[in-house]
Amino acid sequence: MHPRNIIRQEPVVPISRSLPGGFTFGRRVAGHFRGLPPLGCLLFHGIAICLLFLLPRYATAADRPNILWITSEDNSPYLGCYGDAQARTPHLDQLAADGIRYRNAFANAPVCSSARTTLITGMYATSLGVQHHRSRVAIPAGFKLYPEHLRAAGYYTTNNVKLDLNLAGEPQPFDETSNRAHYRNRARDQPFFAIFNYTTSHEGQVAPKDGKSSFRIPPEKILLPPYHPDTPELRRDWANYYDQMTLLDAQVGERLAELEREGVAEDTIVFYCSDHGGALPRGKRNIHDSGTRVPLIVRFPAKWRHLAPAPAGAWVDQPVSFVDLPATFFSLLGVPLPEHYEGRAFLGTRQAPPRAHVFLYRGRMDERYDTVRAVRDRGFRYVRNYSPHRPWGQHYSYPFQVMPGMGSWYAAFEAGRTNPDQSRYWRPKPSEEFYLIAEDPYELHNLAGDPAHATARDALRRTLRAEIIATRDTGFIPEGMFDRLAAGRTIHDYAQSAAYPIERIVDFADRATARDPAFLPELRRALEDPHPIIRYWAATGCLILGARAAPAKADLQARLGDEWADVRTVAAEALGYHGEAGAALATLATIVKEGNLYEQLAAQSALEGLWRQGQVPLERVQGVLRGLKFAEPADRIPRYLLGLSAVAP
């Protein structure tokens, strides 16, 4: 194995090894023989070494199971065992027949990096400040990642191959991370925790390869979800995606067969899940079931079946989410649970009381900001949109590049060929959403304003607020403010301090984003608040009100001189509604040139907002951006806008 092809760390193994009957060799036992003459010591060590190598392979692993965790990318439960009639997934279906399926399993975030941060830390990404896609935020030094705890407990940990942890320093917490990482590389008798990650279902694989003309399901026979218009591109993308899911299933089947060949199947608990929902448009990056609900299957061999909560083939209905998985692994493997972990074990000897709901979130996805929080229980989903002035379907460069169906959907919308259910994705969002899942699985009918469901809606609204406050959610802090506010600390440490008045901030953000002009006097007063986060949300509230915030014009003009660029950015975009396009452009041009990476992204979005609302011609926006050089991902919005024609909508 060439060293350049593998990232490998020395395994952390126990000092001693256990023999049948509980007898132990190691430093503790050797200490009792310190008084022996040299020959006696030599004889003792010789016998010990011989016994260790003559033990059967399962001697030390017999008391602790292995875990094989198979993950796939960007797929909702598009499996036959989850009732998808268009799926052909025989190996995963058999895994479900031999194991248990979770009906209400969710990624806490609908994008890979933030979902993986939640998984690797055992904490909500919003608690740590890593809810943004590709953020590279530092977390407290004492917060160990779950593989580090497993290694300290004697497990050999492997990851084949994707990390994408979204953390500063790109930590490597596994014994091995590479495309050759494998549990067979462990020490003799050492239990293992092995991840195999497949990208076969990633959104980058949605589009058919050039020249592909044959599909298992002909595109014309594909059953489209009601939120997708009937375009040839979407039909081909869906048909190809189901082919990719069948390829994924074969890969899973081979990995399971390998477990048998290696002779460790009867000692190994198998987990399978995807890293979030998707990958077709309105899946990945979206807070609804289409972006957050995942398949989760767990198979227990006979030896460990007493740990299963239900018989083979059964459904488990309790809500679970990614933050719970590390705690669950520790419960199954007998590893102590760190005090700062926020997940609850749902399997094993130390199960927590079942959750009634899961907490979901999204922040910046790629180059686009859109702050959303939600809770989902078995029957309902409540969503709070803190960027209701932005559409669900912002122009994310990557999916527009790799999925023809995404562009075809937007083109159909622009041409007026989409019905209301298909059009809403490209329009500004409501401040609140509330869905009855059993009657509306595609979450098309927003019941937030329906008096018949007010009691259930209000209960989940309170639940969401409680989750935000209990975790001291960092998502209400503009990303461009992180470093300056943290002042040498982590953003988590800042958010845990009295300097971050989370209750006041979240309650004010709720009012600011409610689209209610009755709150305008409070917004105007808050534009002078000493706290920059409150001023930011005050300006955001004025922006969301648009022309109805006219009495706040002078207050917004004063904020063009604010010491914080994120406040200036929102005030500038809001002033576009009040005949101040020139001042807005000048302010944003300065931030685009001089701001940090995240201030640049926010200012670029504001420039696009001015144009899309008809307040500034495209040529003037392009004039601000032309000739400037930006780091990725801040180069994506300029490339998009500079590529548009002056007559583009």
Q: What are the structural domain ranges in the chain?
A: 3-54, 61-209+238-352, 501-642
DSSP SS3 for 225? coil
Q: Where are the beta strands (DSSP E) in 90-155?
A: 100-102, 105-106
Q: What is the pLDDT at residue 27? A: 32
DSSP SS3 for 516? coil
Cα angle, residue 187 at apex, residues 186 and 192 outer, rounded to 5°: 45
Name, in order, each residue with C-beta under 8 angstroms of 589's C-beta and a sequence gap of 6 or more: 624
Query: What are the φ and ψ backbone dihedral angles of 384, each rounded to 5 degrees?
Result: -120, 115
CA 160 vs CA 71, 175, 199, 293, 508: distances in Å: 10, 11, 11, 24, 45
Name, in order, each residue with C-beta under 8 angstroms of 646's C-beta and a sequence gap of 6 or more: 617, 618, 619
Pull the structure tokens for residue 193: 């925790």
Domain 61-209+238-352 belongs to what topology?
A: Alkaline Phosphatase, subunit A (3.40.720)
Name, in order, each residue with C-beta under 8 angstroms of 38's C-beta and a sequence gap of 6 or more: none
pTM of the model: 0.91
Asked if residues 439 and 450 have their Cβ atoms less than 8 Å apart, the reply is: no
Q: What is the pLDDT at residue 49? A: 42
Pull the structure tokens for residue 408: 């075809």
Q: Which stretches of the chain score pLDDT less than 50?
A: 1-60, 647-649
Residues making up the chain, counted from first to last: 649
Q: What is the pLDDT at residue 645? A: 85
Q: What is the pLDDT at residue 621? A: 98
Angle between the N-to-C axes of helices 502-512 and 532-545, in degrees from 0 to 180, rounded to the nearest 10? 10
Q: Which residues pair with 66 in a beta bridge?
A: 268
Count how many Cα atoms sit within 13 Å of the Cα of residue 207 in the half-sphere of its side chain: 16
Pull the structure tokens for residue 501: 């008045």
Asked if residues 592 and 607 have their Cβ atoms less than 8 Å apart, the reply is: yes
Q: Tell me 25's DSSP state.
A: E
DSSP SS3 for 49? helix
DSSP SS3 for 314? coil
Residue 639: its H or E element: helix 636-642
Q: What is the pLDDT at residue 202? A: 98
- Burial of residue 261 (number of CB atoms within 10 Å: 0-12, 13-18, 19+): exposed
Domain 501-642 sits in CATH 3.40.50.300: no
Name, in order, each residue with C-beta under 8 angstroms of 536's C-beta and a sequence gap of 6 or more: 478, 481, 564, 566, 567, 570
Handedness of CA 72, 76, 81, 86 (dihedral sign): negative
Asked if residues 334 and 327 have their Cβ atoms less than 8 Å apart, the reply is: no
